[in-house]
Amino acid sequence: MRPSAVLESALYVSDLDEAERFYGAVLGLERLQRVEGRHVFFRCGASVVLLFDPDATSEPPAPDARLPVPPHGARGPGHLCFAATADEIVRWKAHLEAHGIAIEAEFEWPKGGRSIYFRDPFGNSLEFAEPRIWGLD
């Protein structure tokens, strides 16, 4: 048995309004769901980006909770990488800079493929990279 794909990835944020603005308006992701004070979820291709307030998700669910998701949460910067072609990375770099978002690092990987790194408003490290950096052409 082996998983076939990552369905969802989670990052933790301290301000859901700012998270929704950044991931929706700047990155252009489609909002799927929001629960005030707890989370905002976005579609990203065939997967989902989950943005949680760790103060809300670190608490155990109520005994009568309809969806008894176990507690979870992280503190400090996480990382998420979005797939992009070489041409898209050039356009993403210009788009991010036009929004005042600094490119923290940019380079070609030794086996081929380019990446750019930047931060979301919460310090999470985000990346656009060509899938070939992992041999996933």
pTM of the model: 0.94
Quick one: pLDDT at residue 108?
A: 95
Please give the distance of CA 28 from its chain centroid, rounded to a whole number.
12
Mean pLDDT check: name the lowest of 18-32, 56-70, 94-108: 56-70
Q: Which residues pair with 119 in a beta bridge?
A: 125
Q: What pLDDT digit, counting tens, does each position of 94-131 carry?
A: 999 999 999 999 999 998 999 999 999 999 999 999 99
| Region 32-61 average pLDDT | 95
The answer to whether residue 37 scores a pLDDT higher than 90 is yes
pLDDT in tens, 4-19: 899 999 999 999 999 9
Q: Which one is predicted more confidently, 32 or 136?
A: 32
For residue 8, list its beta bridge partners. Answer: 48
Give the end-to-end CA distance of the chain in Å, rounded to a whole number.
24
**pLDDT value of position 71:** 87
Task: Name which of 51, 49, 27 is nearest 99 in CA terms.
Answer: 27
**pLDDT for residue 92:** 98
Domains of the chain: 1-60 (3.10.180.10), 76-137 (3.10.180.10)
Query: Do residues 81 and 121 touch, judged by C-beta distance below 8 A?
Result: no
How confident is the model at residue 36, as a pLDDT? 96
**pLDDT reported for residue 19:** 98
